[in-house]
Amino acid sequence: MTIYFYTVGEEYGCFSNFSRHGFELDGLYWFTSEHYFQAQKFIGTDHVEQIRLVKSPKEAAKMGRERSRPLRKDWEQVKDDVMRKAVLQKFTTHTDIREILLSTGNEEIIENSPIDFYWGCGADGSGKNMLGIILMEVREKLRLVTTI
Ligand SMILES: Nc1nc(O)c(N)c(N[C@@H]2O[C@H](COP(=O)(O)O)[C@@H](O)[C@H]2O)n1
């Protein structure tokens, strides 16, 4: 049965980048994977630290989407790998949610976002679902590691 997630407080909400599962990555602590993802848009500038330190993932997302900030030129080329790195680190760090991810077996995972047609499936289900795809990739990686 396909697994849908979106809101943090609902079932499988820990799959959302907004879930409060912090981790260390690139030598720094990140409150959520959303903080890490949004900050990487501005690598090499003070905006990284400004975004890293805000309290909520919602605020980090808002700041990351402000086009008054200097978006790195290669963002479209690197954004999927940035997301892969953040999601893998999140689920490697936290045993409880790693178990939840592994418990989904081979089921399809879909970010049921009504507004996001890239990371989610969008309002009509035609979206790319890149976050769901990355979660399934990470699940496969973790499965290999835990069975060795
Ligand atoms: N809660 C929420 N609101 C939105 O408006 C969204 N687009 C999403 N999707 C998440 O947004 C992150 C990436 O956003 P941008 O590429 O910066 O637009 C990513 O975490 C998606 O899962 N969620």
Write down the domain spans for the chain: 2-146
Distance CA 32, CA 3 (A): 22
Is any atom of ligand 1 closer than 6 Å to the C-beta of 115? yes
User: Across residues 118-125, what is the average pLDDT?
Assistant: 98
Is any atom of ligand 1 closer than 6 Å to the C-beta of 34? yes
Domain 2-146 listed as CATH 1.50.10.10: no
Residue 28 and residue 40 in contact, taking contact as beta carbons nearer than 8 Å: no
Per-residue tokens: 129? 């679902």
Per-residue tokens: 59? 């605020």
Nearest residue CA, atom 6 of ligand 1?
116
pTM: 0.95
Average pLDDT, the chain: 97
Is any atom of ligand 1 closer than 6 Å to the C-beta of 131? yes
- Note the pLDDT tens digit of each residue in 21-47: 999 999 999 999 999 999 999 999 999
